[in-house]
Amino acid sequence: MTIRRRLELQYFVNKMSLNYEKTPVSWTNAELIFNKDDTINLKLWEDGVEPEQISETWKRLEEKAESFRTALRYRGDHTVRMLSFGFVAYYFDEKEFFLNNEQEIADAVDILRGRRGQYKEPFMAPIPLFCDIRRKPGEIIVSLPHTMPSLPPNLHWLADTLVAAEELNKYPDLVMKLAYLVLEEIENEPLNYFRYTRNFVSHRICNDNHVITFVEAELPSARVDGGVQFRRNEKDHIAFVARYAYPALQRAKELFNEKVRAEGGFGVD
């Protein structure tokens, strides 16, 4: 069966930290392919694409791929990378074009609209550069949802911030700062004890009276001339900050998930 007016983009998926079920996953205009050599490809496409729409559709598919990668990272696959094949395939009735750049797109449009003849050399599929794209074995097998994980582009920076917070989970002061960035963005008035803890770890010496009262009640050793001071090399300081940092991160993720769903994203929880 002839594929008419389809634009198709493919990626290598590699450097995954999760081990997925080795069964092909089909979504709307997308497919995750698990190959016999244990490599993975992501294929994206749109149908009904006219030649003049190739560039804008290519960009839209790239944005969809980035949305998918960001969603996977947020779901726990922090190291996942996607490498583009470097070209798009365009199917127009019985013709096939493998396009690398804007000039080749313009040439294809001219040919298909009859403004010029076909090149002697056809638009052939380039050979993608070899790279190590094998998955590493893992103990936990993860399945993917029936709808393709995706995040609205305007929320990608929030997802990246939350991923960074999880990757820095050995440092509760950094977790607190990053989680609070998300809370400030989504929530009108984050809880006082989250704000006080963030201020405590964000200044060399914090002289805010509310913060001083809050910290001194549980951590008298933080008192210094001029206010309170966080010291990462002291276990009681770490324990105090951790008491609020990890609940702040959990709260930030809950609010983020709600925002993703409200804006039409999917696959974050």
Mean confidence (pLDDT) of the chain: 89
The reply to whether 70 falls in a domain is yes
The reply to whether 268 falls in a domain is no
Residue 128 sits in the same domain as residue 206? no
Nearest alpha-carbon partner for 88 in 44, 31, 23, 143: 44
Q: For the chain, what is the domain count?
A: 2
Q: Which domain holds residue 10?
A: 6-142
Which token pair is 251? 């709260």
Question: pLDDT higher for 12 or 132?
Answer: 12
Place of tokens 């096939």: 96
Q: Helix/strand/coil (H, E, C) string of 220-239?
A: HHHEECCEECCCCCCHHHHH
pTM: 0.84
Residue 211 sits in the same domain as residue 126? no
pLDDT bin (cut points 50, 70, 90) of residue 119 is low
Report the sign of the C-alpha dihedral through residues 43, 156, 144, 83, in that order. positive
What's 146's DSSP letter?
Answer: S
Place of tokens 């929030």: 158
Quick check: 142 and 21 in contact, CB under 8 A? yes
- Give the domain-ending residue among 142, 168, 190: 142
Nearest alpha-carbon partner for 245 in 155, 181, 160, 156: 181
pLDDT bin (cut points 50, 70, 90) of residue 120 is very low
Per-residue model confidence as pLDDT tens digits over 122-179: 556 665 554 554 555 555 677 888 889 999 999 999 999 999 999 999 999 999 999 9
Residue 89's SS3 state is strand
Residue 135 sits in the same domain as residue 12? yes
The reply to whether 147 falls in a domain is no
Predicted confidence at residue 117, as pLDDT, reads: 62
Q: Provide the 10 A C-beta neighbour count for residue 268.
A: 21
